[in-house]
Amino acid sequence: MKASLFVTCIADIMYGDVGKSVVQVLRRNGVDLDFPEGQTCCGQPAFSSGYYKEAAIVAKKMIEVFEKSEKVVIPSGSCAAMIHHGYPILFANDPIWKKRAEEFVAKCYEFSQFIVDILGITDVGATFPKKVTYHSSCHMTRILGVEEQPKTLLKNVKGIDFIELPYFFDCCGFGGTFSMKMADISGAIVEEKVENIIGTGAEVLVGSDLTCLMNIGGRLSRRGVPVQVMHLAQVLDQGGGKNAY
């Protein structure tokens, strides 16, 4: 199957390794993947702050960049949700771009959603003998409606000890600029999340949204808690997999 990778700005800038794992996992599972030049960001930072015009400028660019793609895979729940939920709002009053946006939306999938729902794969053949818990990110579950797919993939990893995170559905407190604008409230919220993670006794926290993971990981690091933070793709990339290079 042919697909294009929209790696997202956060992965491009901060977490290149996650992008690499995404590529490896998808290729191993038979995806003919390309990485269209010109891609930057879905526009979420501006959209969330109320700057719809600025967001639309960047969103249009992405729609153009992926015009020729058959399917687009995005390793970030909130960016996929931004496209699905935000683009129709951005272009509600612009019939031409609305149509182009709809076509784009229809082919955009979050990473785990793509593997489970489109490829029809629930076991990618990874091995990861560790105690793992999973944080469900808000926009991915509530707005995009992708909740079980990442957990299904995780639970099928060989050797994994999956522990459900108490209040896994609670926000981690990131909220984009909220984390800086109202840093102290955000700090209190992420502290709750970290306490819940510590309570599970997990060695690894897994998630599908790099910004949430950067937030939670940053707090774990500040407190010196030795819990490793990984994107789902990095876990699925462990242990060679069935068609390892």
Partner 1 sequence: MHIEPSFHKRYHKALRDTAMLKAVKNGTGRLRGQRATAIEGVGAERWMEFRNRAEAIRLHVIQHLDQYLEQLVDNVIKNGGHVCLAKTGEEAVQYISELAKKKNAKTILKSKSMVSEEIHLNPALEQQGCNVIESDLGEWIIQLAGETPSHIIAPAMHKNRFQVADLFNAVSEEKVSTEIADLCGFARKYLREKFLGIDIGITGCNFALADSGAITLCTNEGNARIISTLAPTLVTVMGMERILPGLEELTVMLSLLARSATGQKLTVYNTLSTGVRNPEELDGPQEFHLVIVDNGRSKQLGTKYEKILNCIRCGSCLNACPVYRNIGGHAYGWVYPGPIGAVLSPLYQGMDKYGELAYATTLCGACTFACPVKIPLHDMLYALRNDKVELEKTGGLVEDMTYKGWSAAFASMSRYRFSIGMARRFQFPLVKAEKIAYGPPPISDWLKHRDMPALPKKFFHEIWRDMKKDGKE
DSSP strands (E only) in 43-96? 72-74
Q: Report helix, strand or coil for 178.
A: helix
Question: The tokens of 16 are what?
Answer: 């290149």
Strands 131-134 and 228-231: unpaired
Among 25, 26, 31, 58, binds partner 1 (CB under 8 A): 58
Smallest gap from residue 6 Cβ to partner 1 (A): 11
Question: The tokens of 23 are what?
Answer: 């590529």
The contact mask relative to partner 1 for 165-204 (x = CB under 8 A, - = no) is ----xxx-xxxxxxxxxxxxxxxxxxxx------------
Smallest gap from residue 108 Cβ to partner 1 (A): 18
CB closer to partner 1, 187 vs 239: 187
138 Cβ partners below 8 Å, 6+ apart?
Answer: 78, 169, 171
CB closer to partner 1, 61 vs 131: 61
Smallest gap from residue 54 Cβ to partner 1 (A): 4
Site membership for partner 1, residue 50 (CB under 8 A): yes
Applying CB under 8 A, the span of 38-46, 98-106, 110-118, 148-156 interacting with partner 1 comes to: 38-46
Chain residues 63-92 in contact with partner 1, contact rule CB under 8 A: 89
By CB under 8 A, the count of residues binding partner 1 is: 71
Smallest gap from residue 228 Cβ to partner 1 (A): 13
Applying CB under 8 A, the span of 98-106, 119-127, 145-153, 164-172 interacting with partner 1 comes to: 164-172
For the beta sheet containing 131-134, the strands, ordered from the edge strand earlier in sequence to the opposite edge, are 161-163, 131-134, 204-207, 228-231
Residue (of 209, 207, 214, 203) closest to 232 by Cα position? 207
* Residue position matching structure tokens 């990095």: 234
CA atoms within 13 A on the CB side of 211: 21
Smallest gap from residue 177 Cβ to partner 1 (A): 8
